[in-house]
Structure 1
Amino acid sequence: MTTDAPASRAAHVTLKLATSLDGRIATASGESRWITGPQAREAVHRLRAEHDAVVIGVETALADDPELTVRLEGYAGPHPARVVLDSRQRLPAHSKLAATARVTPTYVVSSAPPQPGLVEKGVRVLEVRRMDNLDAVVAALAEQGQKRLFVEGGGRVAASFLRAGLVERLEWFRAPMVIGGEGRAAVADLALAALAAAPRFRRLDVRSVGDDLWERYERI
């Protein structure tokens, strides 16, 4: 399916970050499990359950082979769809996401025609002409009924949604540790020329979840 969908705010985008105190999501070697504790991870699963789809980049899919389901004791509700931003469709057909695509809806957003190996697994490929046009990506997902998006991707995905001005809510979990400048940043370069151009948010709540802090923000 190819779309030239116009810019759309029909979808609501929440960005989730789980970091050290200095905003790192992994060490320089890529070690990231687990920065935050079990209570914070449980809160993330509850947030997933409130959204239509969980969004990650293909690098996260390749590195972690995640399931992106709601794993809560006694939970019997629906699972969000899984969305992978994957311009060249590098998601392996044997990945957990592809292997369970007929059980839980799984989308790959790509700028290339659908790959038969993924389609045969039940993965729904949404073809967009420009992956850097996130308005079009969000609009294409909204057309599929995925209107409440929970972005859990890496630093580049987070930066892309922030640069596009699409992040309405920010759910930030901070662990009481410091990784240092060589660690991997939660948000990649935003290419800001001035502070006035920085995305700004209003804090809604701060609470403790185990040893971690959960900060909640909305866009100003």
Structure 2
Amino acid sequence: MTITLKLATSLDARIATASGESRWITGAASREQVHRLRAAHDAVVVGIETALADDPELTVRLPGYTGRQPARVVLDSRQRLSPACKLAATARETPTYVVTTAEPDAALTQAGVHVLSVAADGEGRPDLMGVVQALANAGLANLFLEGGGQVAGSFLRHGLVDAIEWFRAPIVIGGEGRPAIGALAVAALAGAPHFRRVEVTQLGDDLWERYARVA
């Protein structure tokens, strides 16, 4: 199992303004590279808040691309994903999974969505170790985390992020903007997740920074 976290942020690590505006923080070259990274993974993973706010497709959309599409995974404890959203509406064309803590919703399964039920954590969300195991059992061992801050924080807090692909735009949004990473409960620097920068590339006006976890 390899888990990669993608971040597309301002210089101060914000993914949206306070009002939720986020299109587009990074430039076209960065967004194109994200699609290439999607194509290299088994599945793209988002939280339900991202799915509800953006109604994304989470597919690889590159000129001339005819390769395999990654599966789409939504962490959705209460199965709030609508059967009419883009992910569910295309579930029979591109594999789509909802990971929940409840029994599968018939409306989603009838739409072709694969619903995986796992145990809840202490906050009622899908337990991440259970999530990772359920996805691995489904043949999805190479995960690409795309959002949002709660998902990023949860995976980092549990020590499950192996690599970070960070696209930074040369703008500053400020403290009222939405952070890329949620709470980590870090009490001391020694307990913070540590990563090693392995590469930096300029993409248009943006920087693409690649990090690997320090064991």
Same fold (TM over 0.5): yes
> Structure 2 unaligned runs (5+)?
none
Whole-Å Cα distance in 1 between the matches of residues 5 and 157 of structure 2? Answer: 12
Q: Does 1:21 align with 2:15?
A: no
SS at match of 1:171: strand
Q: Does 1:174 align with 2:168?
A: yes
Q: 1:186 matched to which residue of 2? A: 180
Whole-Å Cα distance in 1 between the matches of residues 119 and 159 of structure 2? Answer: 20
Deviation for aligned residue 1:35: 0.2
Q: 1:5 matched to which residue of 2? A: none
Q: Is the 8 A contact 2:152 2:182 kept in 1?
A: yes
Pick from 140, 148, 165: which aligns with 1:154? Answer: 148
Q: Is the 8 A contact 2:118 2:126 kept in 1?
A: no
Count, aligned residues: 210
Q: 2:75 matched to which residue of 1? A: 85
TM-score, structure 1 length as denominator?
A: 0.95
Q: Does 1:141 align with 2:151?
A: no
Q: 1:104 matched to which residue of 2? A: 94
Whole-Å Cα distance in 2 between the matches of residues 192 and 47 of structure 1? Answer: 29
SS at match of 2:153: helix
Deviation for aligned residue 1:136: 1.3
Q: What is the identity, as a one-letter code, of the residue corresponding to 1:166?
A: L
Q: What is the identity, as a one-letter code, of the residue corresponding to 1:181?
A: G
Whole-Å Cα distance in 2 between the matches of residues 214 and 103 of structure 1? Answer: 31
Q: What is the identity, as a one-letter code, of the residue corresponding to 1:49?
A: A
Q: Is the 8 A contact 2:119 2:126 kept in 1?
A: no
SS at match of 1:156: helix
Q: Which moved more, 1:124-133 or 1:26-35?
A: 124-133
SS at match of 1:119: helix
Whole-Å Cα distance in 2 between the matches of residues 19 and 185 of structure 1? Answer: 9
Whole-Å Cα distance in 2 between the matches of residues 197 and 159 of structure 1? Answer: 14
SS at match of 2:147: coil
Q: 1:59 matched to which residue of 2? A: 49
SS at match of 1:39: helix
Q: What is the identity, as a one-letter code, of the residue corresponding to 2:152?
A: A
The alignment-based identity, stated in percent, is 69
Q: Does 1:202 align with 2:200?
A: no
TM-score, structure 2 length as denominator?
A: 0.97
Deviation for aligned residue 1:133: 2.3
SS at match of 1:218: strand
Q: Is the 8 A contact 2:101 2:126 kept in 1?
A: no
Q: Does 1:74 align with 2:64?
A: yes
Q: What is the identity, as a one-letter code, of the residue corresponding to 2:18?
A: A
Q: 2:118 matched to which residue of 1? A: 128
Deviation for aligned residue 1:189: 1.0
Whole-Å Cα distance in 1 between the matches of residues 147 and 133 of structure 2? Answer: 18
SS at match of 1:32: coil
Whole-Å Cα distance in 2 between the matches of residues 89 and 173 of structure 1? Answer: 30
Whole-Å Cα distance in 2 between the matches of residues 40 and 190 of structure 1? Answer: 27
SS at match of 2:52: helix
Task: Write out per-residue CA displacement over residues 59-80 of structure 1, whole angstroms, 9 at most, x where no aligned residue.
Answer: 0000000000000001010000
Whole-Å Cα distance in 1 between the matches of residues 139 and 83 of structure 2? Answer: 24
Task: Write out per-residue CA displacement over residues 11-64 of structure 1, whole angstroms, 9 at most, x where no aligned residue.
Answer: 110000000000000000000000000000000000000000000000000000
* Runs of 4+ with deviation above 4 angstroms: none
Deviation for aligned residue 1:132: 4.6
